[in-house]
Amino acid sequence: MRSALLIASCTIALAAEWKAGIGRVEITPDKPIFLSGYASRKKPSEGVRQKLWAKAVALQDKSGNRVVIVGTDLIGLSRPISERIGAEAAKKYGLKRSQLMLNSSHTHSGPAVRDNLDTMFDLTLQQRQTIVDYSNNLVDKLVTVIGAALGDLQPADIALGHGAGTFAINRRQINAKGVSIGHNPKGPVDHDVPVFRITSPDGKLRGVIFGYACHNTTLGGDLYLLNGDYAGYAQQYFEEANPGSTALFLLLCGGDANPAPRGKYEHAEAHGRSLSNELGRVLKSTMKPVTGKIRSAWQTVDLAFAPHTRAQFEAELKDSSWYKQRRAEAMLRAYDARKPVTTIAYPVQALRFGSAATIVALGGEVVVDYDLRIKKEFAGEDTIVAGYSNDVMGYIASKRVLQEGGYEAVDSHIYYGNPGPFTEEVEETIISTVKRVLKQVGRSK
């Protein structure tokens, strides 16, 4: 009996090292709205196939250090939206910006969000107002779900394990004409599925945080029903299999990977099922306890666009592409104001959990090269590299991808309203900033 009591007391003491809180809020639009991600769409959504959610996990160590991780079934959050959420979270909950991570699943079957991919659609005033109204309500809901997670803090055990996905394939197909979007089986991918398990001291599963580096684009622009694509189905199936738990998905560096096969709802459901099953397998394996202090760091760095001229956009204004015309108009307005767009602010964040794991959160649609490089250069401790975090302002191509060209390097910037590709120095700019934030949280090579 004495041994049993001793074991129980040790378990409770260990659990008390952490507190975790979980919140969730539905963010499904209540009226037809343009779905974001595909320029081919010419009309609003036609119904709901699956509800959309925002979920938050708050973590606190025994010294009171906190972080909140938010996952959303959305194409991405723009910088103005993220800044509003961050400012409100600081005011209401005392969170520093480094302590709040906002990630989006990048579903192309979710609603358009204000200030993200604005040049992609030709909208009526009413359609645009619907997006504005939805975005304003979204800010309120995300601030509320952050508060809900912080208000739910209670003793917890945290553990980390890894699984593997099966359906991501590099999509940069190199051919005689350059690079097109297709299948490149020899191209780089990362099939790692990191899984954080959150349990109460008595062993009850409360939730998981998991991620995968694959575009959330199983479904194409010919479909108009709101849903979370494979990431949404993975969360749904896991929660159905584990009643009372919450699954929060993080999109990692999936900028140049697509699901395969793709195109049908059945494919999205199958990919979601495979991820959910993999989560279940990982939870049954031996997982590494996560202990120690929480540290967070944040830096914003300017990324440089390749040089451009006013004449370039005056010519583009006459292009047959409506999307290029819209981009040209925006760039010429900047030239008229004597403020040509030469750089863009880029957020880099690090969340470190003791010496067990670090999440590096990068903005934009990050290609897998960054993921693989950061993991290699900072080996020895679990490092999880997420894209689509805190601001989705465009594709973040590596030096290799910039030299090869193609959609991720060049054409995608038309739809984001950027002047064009980044300079080849951008990769080193980002990696240098990653090194600085990792040093701030106690990581070094």
Asked if residue 401 is part of any domain, the answer here is no
DSSP sequence for 171-185: -EEEETTEEEES--T
- Judgement on whether residues 81 and 142 belong to the same structural domain of the protein: yes
**Continuous segment of H or E residues that includes residue 402:** helix 399-404
Task: Render pLDDT for 293-321 as a digit per residue (tens, 0 to 9).
Answer: 999 999 999 999 999 999 999 999 999 99
What pLDDT sits at residue 177? 83
**Residue 444: its pLDDT value, please?**
79
311 and 287 within one domain: no
> Within this chain, do residues 251 and 326 fall inside the same structural domain, yes or no?
no
Return all residues near 5 (Cβ < 8 A) that are at least 6 apart: none
Domain membership flag for residue 64 = yes
Which pLDDT belongs to residue 118? 83
98 and 122 assigned to the same domain: yes
**3-class DSSP state for residue 366?**
strand
Contact of 100 with 138, CB cutoff 8 Å? no
43 found inside a domain = yes
What's residue 244's pLDDT?
97
CA–CA dist 95, 89 (Å, integer): 6
Is 284 found in the same domain as 213?
yes
Query: Is residue 408 one of the residues assigned to a domain?
Result: no
Cβ contact 34:3 at 8 Å: no
* Planar angle of CA 405, 411, 412, nearest 5 degrees: 110
Specify the pLDDT at position 16.
Answer: 52
pLDDT by residue (tens digit) across 54-106?
Answer: 999 999 999 999 999 999 999 999 999 999 999 999 999 999 999 999 999 99
Residue 250 lies in a domain: yes
* Residue 131 lies inside a defined structural domain of this protein: yes
Q: Where are the alpha helices (DSSP H) in 94-203?
A: 125-151
Stated as kind and residue range, the H or E segment containing 302 is strand 294-304
258 and 151 co-located in one domain: yes
In Å, what is the CA distance from 123 to each residue of 44, 333, 434? Answer: 10, 20, 38
Q: Are residues 112 and 260 in the same domain?
A: yes
Residue at 384 is within a domain = no
Query: What residues in the chain have per-residue pLDDT under 70?
Result: 1-16, 445
Verify cis geometry, omega within 30 degrees of 0, for the bond prior to 261: yes
CA distances from 115 to 77, 129, 276 (A): 8, 12, 32
Number of domains in the chain: 2
Ramachandran category for residue 9: left, alpha or beta (phi over 0 → left; psi -120 to 50 → alpha): alpha
Which domain range does residue 44 map to? 2-292+361-378
In a domain, 49, yes or no: yes
Same domain, 210 and 323: no
Q: Are strands 205-212 and 294-304 parallel, antiparallel or unpaired?
A: unpaired
> What whole-number distance in Å separates Cα of residue 398 and Cα of residue 409?
8
Do 243 and 185 share a structural domain?
yes
Q: What is the DSSP letter of 191?
A: -
Assess whether 50 and 134 both reside in one domain.
Answer: yes
Burial per residue of 415-437, b for 16 or more beta-carbon CB atoms within 10 angstroms, e otherwise: bbbbbbbbeeebbebbbebbbeb
Pairwise CA distance, residues 4 & 75, whole Å: 50
Q: Which of 181, 154, 157 is nearest to 169 (CA)?
A: 181
Report DSSP state, residue 169. Answer: E
Backbone angles phi, psi at 143, to 5 degrees: -65, -40
Question: Is the domain of 111 the same as that of 88?
Answer: yes
Are 124 and 259 found together in one domain?
Answer: yes
Tokens of 51: 């509800």
The per-residue pLDDT for 9 is 41
